[in-house]
Structures are given as structure tokens and as C-alpha cells.
Homo-oligomer: A and B are copies of this chain.
């Protein structure tokens, strides 16, 4: 399997990506071949420096870079030699089996939608975040930002995609799915939640446990919590702010160390045909290593094939 990595994306590029590659290779003896996309001279130097074996990697030159402030659609069109554009070209053309970047999120989403495309039957692809919980448990919250305005059918599909991810990638046998809401009983909530509830209840491919509230997000409640991308994005950014606050306050505790979101690596774009993983701008060594592992697992488990089948079945 070939995994393409945008070495130029992220605040600490290309060093962080190179260290992540080195860490992955040292830890995993597997068959994954890593395609390092970026500035050739810089990458050759870094590969030597971090003893990255040329047997398990290849450098693919990208002479342009998409910055954080570039307009996603324009940048992809006007910079065909950028690491993001090349990564998507490799993936779309079948020369790579997954693509990872911690660069411009907007460009990554545009590439996911237009170079790779949603699975037939999927109305809106989604991105999720891991939520740290007590006793080393985690939850999965989605959508966390692609879909600011949602229809009830979108939430129902997020539930299905999130449950599949929780099962195959996070290893949770029969993931409990909850609808984020502002009351426990059916019929509570805003118009979206009220309309989504019956769809989730009727969805036989998930184990729906009903409404969950804000207080349940960090509790051992639903394994998968679905909400619109506005609410999810606000929640994600609030949760991400806790770790730096505790550091500033001098609170050093294993519980809050798990709010260091970097350790979870990136989030895959769920609902598109091929594995695309988007990393946080501040991704460091660990994040890159984890994203490569995640890509490897997504390819090895044929996770997206199964998901695609499940949605095409709904279409038939």
C-alpha cells in the first residue's frame, strides 16, 4: 500500500512530518510505502538527518505550497504543483491509497469533495473528533465543522458513518449512538433534532440510544454523538482550549493531558471514496505518526469499501 503525505503542511513543516515518518517507520515493520510529497532538496536533507530509509519511502517533488490564508478553491486551481494538489492527484489516479495533510483544511476539504468525491448515496461527507473521557475511554463527536447547516437526513448519515468508524477503526463492538440535544425525551430540542430523532430511531444499521446532552459529552454515554457542524465545531474548539488553559494554570494531571488533541492524530473525511486524513495545523511528530497509522488501518481494513457498500445498499 502507498500512503502519500503532504510534508509541507502544518505549522512545523517539514520537520514535524519528517520526524513523524521516522517514528512511524521505526515502530511499524509493515508493508506501507510512504510517498513524501514536498520540496525535494529539503526532504532529501531531512531523510538523511532522520535516517528515513529510501526502501520504504519515496520523495515526490512539489514545487508549490498552499498556505493557510490561501483561498481553497483558487489555490488548488492555481497551484497544481503544490503538495496538496499533487497528493490528491496521486490518490485520485490510484498511485496512492491514502493521502494525509496538516495543511490548509479548506483546500483538503475541497480536494476531498472534487478530486475524490462523496460515495454514492452520501449526501454530505463529515469529519469527526475523538473526545477524551475518564478511565481511558473515548467518544466520537461528529460533524465538527464541514456542515454548518444540516438537514435531519445528514445527521442520520453522520450517525451511520460515525458508528462504522467507531466499530472498525476504534474497535467498539456495538457502538451506542446518541443525538446531541437539550433534553432527554423524544420531541425535545430544536427543529433539526426533533426531526432527526425518528430517522435515527428507525435506522436499523445503528444502535441508537436516544438523546444525549452537553453533560454527556465527557461522560461514558453514547460512543458516537451526532450533531450539526456548527455545534460540533464550537464544542471541539472549546474542548481543545482546555489543555492550554490547564498548562497555564499549572495543572498537570493525566486526565487533562488527554485533552492534548495532537495525540489523536488527524480526522479522516468520512463519506468520500478514498482515505483522506486531515491533520491539525499544530501537528507534531506524534500526530503525523498517528495519522500514518490511521491511514494504514483504513486501507488494511477496507473500511471505506464496507461503508460504501452500506450506502449503495440504501440506494438500491
Contacts and interface: CB of A to CB of B under 8 A. Distances in A.
Nearest to A230: B190
Interface stretch (A155-163, A248-256, A290-298): A248-256
A228 interface: yes
Given A134-B248, A251-B251, A234 B148 contact: no
Interface stretch (A54-62, A91-99, A111-119, A238-246): A238-246
A180 B234 contact: yes
A238 B255 contact: no
B251 A193 contact: no
Interface in A209-243: 213-215, 217-219, 227-231, 233-242
Nearest to A236: B214
Contacts of A218: 238, 241-242, 245
Contacts of A253: 249, 251
A142 to B, nearest CB: 14
Q: A-side binding surface: helix, strand, loop or mixed?
A: helix
Nearest to A237: B214
A182 B145 contact: yes
A121 interface: no
Nearest to A234: B214
Nearest to A214: B237
A31 interface: no
Nearest to A238: B214
Contacts of A255: 245-246, 249, 251
Q: Which 8 A-B pairs have the closest CB atoms?
A: A214-B237, A148-B190, A214-B238, A214-B234, A182-B233, A215-B241, A215-B237, A190-B230
13 contacts: A134-B249, A148-B182, A148-B190, A182-B237, A190-B228, A190-B230, A193-B230, A213-B234, A214-B239, A218-B242, A230-B231, A231-B234, A235-B235
